[in-house]
Structure 1
Amino acid sequence: MEFETDHQWVVQINEKLKNHESSSMEIQKWKKHCIYETPPSVADLNKKAYNPLTVSFGPYHHMKKHLLAMEEHKHRALVHFLRRCNGKPLELLIQSMAEVEEDLRDCYKPLDDQWKSKNENNHSFLRMMILDGCFMLEVLRFAACYHAAGDYADNDPIFSCHGRLYVTPYIKRDMLMLENQIPMMVLDKLVEFEGNKNQDPEFLNKLILKFFCPDTPIFKSFGKCLHILDLYRKSLFQHEPTHPTIIPNQSKSNKHQEDEIIIPSARELLDAGITFKPSESHSFKDVSFNGGILRIPSIIVDDCTETMLLNLIAFERMHVGAGNEVSSFVFFMDNIIDNHVDVVILEQKGIVQNALGSDKAVAKLFNSLSRDLAVDRGGSLEIVQVSVCRYCKKPWNKWRANLIETYFRNPWAIVSFVAAIFLFGLTIVQTVYTILQLYHNT
């Protein structure tokens, strides 16, 4: 029996050798994947951060018991969407979405067999994509219309002022989960189906970012994005550092450089004479160090921050080529925040805006985010950390900081310090005068 099993394995491997895909085909195959299940090694650290609480999008959480209540509203959103499509039938929408059905399936890694069936009578995957896509598009559009309910009733449980206040924030949270994404192609197809040919190419991107960041201006075009989480991540890097970091001397050994990038906490940096200032933008890339001033983008820490950052980190971990900017920023913040004292310092400097209430909770949040976090060496943040560490090791910077802390903290201390210097100067003059007088007398 064991021999037969081994024989089957040999046959399978030989078949794969015969049907070996070229490297270019493998590249294209892996390139299509962009929505992933979070591996247990990551999800087990904080299961709540990766599981939607209100609504499911896509196959990974489809029809889960605690999310079933929202399915009724998805169907209603589809009806309202079709009413505004100039009488176009649902069958035509299904045909349009079927054009990219295979590409949509390829976005998910892994995908259960129940969603892979191509039976003409089985449109469950397309039905899910259409329902989820229409609901998502309707939520985005309604949120952009602050005073109008459109063709929805004023007492609609979702698309009303009541829903905007009590339901939309939870939908927004669920829409930023990696496992709860649908491909941007779905929304593109829905907008195309409506027939607005003069649509701005950035229409969807602007609509999505207005939903998530209503007060943040958009300064660049984002082009084609994989899904909402991908677009949101890219929006966090609109600006490069406005005060470039001076690159330190790289002549030291690699071992010494590795030791240097363990950046001290905010309290220790303050003691070393480093000044904190908020960056001119909110971009995670806008971290710089120059002339003893460490600039860090201002970040709001609220109930959704943990979920948002963990899913962005998970996307960077799972998607090859996504980059590691969010992971690097979180690792950097964990380094400078050891406890609540560091949080207080960053709050006073306008870098951390604490909506959690407890400074200890903010410190605990950043300390937990970096658990099992892999950060690629290199990049602008490593240059910042190396520069900061070298600055801290210069004794003069610490002496100057202690001098300022001791004698220039308040006006009375300054007056006392100046008076002491003045008296010391008078004493020296008097001593010199006395010596000269004695010299002339002799």
Structure 2
Amino acid sequence: MLPPPPQLDPNETNWIVHVNENLNCMPKDEQHCWKSPSIYKVPPSITRLNREAYQPQVVSFGPYHYDEVDLRPMEEHKHRVLLHFLKRSGKSLECVFESLRKVAHELEDSYENLDQKWKEGTGGKFLELMITDGCFMLEIMRTEISEEKNNGYAPNDPIFSIHRLEYIAPYISRDMLLLENQLPMLVLYQLVAIANDGKEDDVNELIGKFYFLHENKNFTGLGRRLHVMDVFRKGLLMKSEGVQHERELYMGPEDMKISAKKTEPIIRSAIELNEAGIKFKKRKTNSLKDISFARGFLKLPVIKVDDTTESMFLNVMTFERLHIGAGNEVTSYVTFMDKIINDRQDVALLHTEGIIQNDFGSDKAVAKLFNSLCTDVTLPSNENLDGVQQKISEHCKEPWNKWRAILNRTYFRSPWTILSLTAAIFLFALTIMQAVYTVLRYHAK
């Protein structure tokens, strides 16, 4: 006979009933149960490592950092920009407001965990924020890339005069790339369409020129994007026009084969790879995913490192981590660079080859920067870089390259060891010559 079922107390019985009810009500397709935001609150598990990298310095965009004390001074300038926008476009604020109201719910859904005070039905505060912030963002980009001296503002304007804009634009462009400080791109699309009587100029191209003015990249075919960071990330991975078909001068058929073996992580620094006979060469495409290795040449894109690099990479990497389907190309690039940069000597080598343009500080500071970017970052799988790493690993395992690296580390890394080796070879040669001379004298007798 089966034993009697155990006796459950009322609390346990209620919980079991509740779970069974939920089980019966489970939807067949859970995909529709979840919203798909594109602008996220960065979780504390990420921000604890570097809070300032996710915090705007001069201006807030969107609801997450609105009305923070240090950012309030910019609010009056946003409202001035709105007046300029309305005057220049000839449209009424009612017209602008009504256009944005039609997509209000879509804009709200772009934000993860949007506070209830911003929801529809609370006096239009959310739409007011979208309109003023959107106009300000567009105006900053428009005036910064414009070649006209007269941008519609007074010569002594505290933000948009040529002198002031040159100073403050780098700070604003940095704040525009923070994940928590994004605006839905739909806001910018709508505002531009309103200003141009329904004709939607390519906002993507405007953003591309703002961030990649001198790199000749084409943003016109990107289609609808999520926000400024999304466009910027695409720009990082995009090839400059005119060099899309850069020829691989050192690539042979054997280099195109991707080993079926399990990829081994690169633990060698740039200096150590150089000692194993690997030469570094800069690519001309300026695309972060354009990394290749063939016949002893490791080709890397040029990267400029400055005061905004840390914040930019951390926020883009966090976007790739949180947004489903975003891809992991930027994170893969940063983790790859972290592997080949251990100290200032690695940075100095890459700088000499034109791969790192150091506008940040000492080579040691740049090395510390790349090493800190990958703290607590899970290494993503990337097919192209997995193949590159495998080929580098196989190159370093070849007997001659292993011996070459050992010789370089043992005898040629320090001037003193080179001097000692040279002296030893010289003494050995003298010894041989003396022995030969002694033998010749003996036979001459």
Q: TM-score range by the shorter chain?
A: 0.7 to 0.9
Once residues 6 and 93 of structure 1 are traced to their aligned partners in structure 2, the CA distance between those partners, rounded to angstroms, is 56
Q: 1:139 to 1:6 in 2, by over 3 A?
A: farther
Report deviation, 1:21: 7.5
- Give the equivalent residue in structure 1 for 2:362: 358
Bigger mean CA offset, 146-155 vs 203-212: 146-155
The answer as to whether partners of 1:247 and 1:383 remain within 8 angstroms in 2 is: no
The answer as to whether partners of 1:241 and 1:286 remain within 8 angstroms in 2 is: no
- Give the equivalent residue in structure 1 for 2:415: none
Once residues 108 and 82 of structure 2 are traced to their aligned partners in structure 1, the CA distance between those partners, rounded to angstroms, is 21
- Give the equivalent residue in structure 2 for 1:134: 135
Q: Does 1:298 align with 2:302?
A: yes
Once residues 387 and 245 of structure 2 are traced to their aligned partners in structure 1, the CA distance between those partners, rounded to angstroms, is 12
What do the CA deviations read for 1:201-255 (whole angstroms, capped 9, x no partner)? xx21111111112111124521111000000001111137843792456354x4x
Q: How does 1:36-435 map to 2 (within 5 A)?
A: 36-86=40-90, 88-116=91-119, 118-119=120-121, 122-200=123-201, 203-219=202-218, 221-239=221-239, 242=246, 243=248, 246-248=255-257, 250-252=259-261, 254=262, 257=263, 260-399=264-403
Amino acid corresponding to residue 133 of structure 1 in structure 2: G
Report deviation, 1:400: 5.6
Aligned-residue CA RMSD (Å): 3.1
Report deviation, 1:266: 0.5
Report deviation, 1:357: 2.1
3-state DSSP of counterpart to 2:237: coil
Once residues 197 and 322 of structure 2 are traced to their aligned partners in structure 1, the CA distance between those partners, rounded to angstroms, is 35
What do the CA deviations read for 1:7-57 (whole angstroms, capped 9, x no partner)? 69976995796584844523xx44x31000101000110000001010000
Amino acid corresponding to residue 318 of structure 2 in structure 1: A
Q: 1:314 to 1:393 in 2, by over 3 A?
A: same
Q: 1:19 to 1:268 in 2, by over 3 A?
A: closer
What do the CA deviations read for 1:69-94 (whole angstroms, capped 9, x no partner)? 011001100000000122x2211111
* Structure 2 residues without counterparts, runs of 5 or longer: 1-8, 413-417, 437-445
Once residues 293 and 99 of structure 2 are traced to their aligned partners in structure 1, the CA distance between those partners, rounded to angstroms, is 52
Report deviation, 1:122: 1.2
What do the CA deviations read for 1:145-178 (whole angstroms, capped 9, x no partner)? 1442422111111111122122111111100000
Identity among equivalent positions (%) equals: 44
Bigger mean CA offset, 267-276 vs 9-18: 9-18
Amino acid corresponding to residue 212 of structure 2 in structure 1: C
Once residues 216 and 9 of structure 1 are traced to their aligned partners in structure 2, the CA distance between those partners, rounded to angstroms, is 62
Bigger mean CA offset, 156-165 vs 382-391: 156-165
3-state DSSP of counterpart to 2:338: helix
Q: 1:73 to 1:205 in 2, by over 3 A?
A: same
The answer as to whether partners of 1:37 and 1:179 remain within 8 angstroms in 2 is: yes
Once residues 5 and 376 of structure 1 are traced to their aligned partners in structure 2, the CA distance between those partners, rounded to angstroms, is 42
3-state DSSP of counterpart to 2:357: strand
Q: 1:135 to 1:46 in 2, by over 3 A?
A: same
TM-score by length of 1: 0.83
Q: 1:197 to 1:112 in 2, by over 3 A?
A: closer
Bigger mean CA offset, 209-218 vs 295-304: 209-218
3-state DSSP of counterpart to 2:285: coil
Once residues 132 and 9 of structure 1 are traced to their aligned partners in structure 2, the CA distance between those partners, rounded to angstroms, is 50
Amino acid corresponding to residue 336 of structure 1 in structure 2: I
Once residues 115 and 16 of structure 1 are traced to their aligned partners in structure 2, the CA distance between those partners, rounded to angstroms, is 34
Q: 1:341 to 1:144 in 2, by over 3 A?
A: same
3-state DSSP of counterpart to 1:387: helix
Once residues 356 and 367 of structure 2 are traced to their aligned partners in structure 1, the CA distance between those partners, rounded to angstroms, is 11
Amino acid corresponding to residue 139 of structure 1 in structure 2: I
3-state DSSP of counterpart to 2:86: helix
The answer as to whether partners of 1:337 and 1:363 remain within 8 angstroms in 2 is: yes
Report deviation, 1:113: 1.2
3-state DSSP of counterpart to 1:353: strand
Q: 1:383 to 1:251 in 2, by over 3 A?
A: closer
3-state DSSP of counterpart to 1:236: helix
Once residues 80 and 226 of structure 1 are traced to their aligned partners in structure 2, the CA distance between those partners, rounded to angstroms, is 26
Once residues 332 and 251 of structure 1 are traced to their aligned partners in structure 2, the CA distance between those partners, rounded to angstroms, is 20
TM-score by length of 2: 0.82
Bigger mean CA offset, 391-400 vs 319-328: 391-400
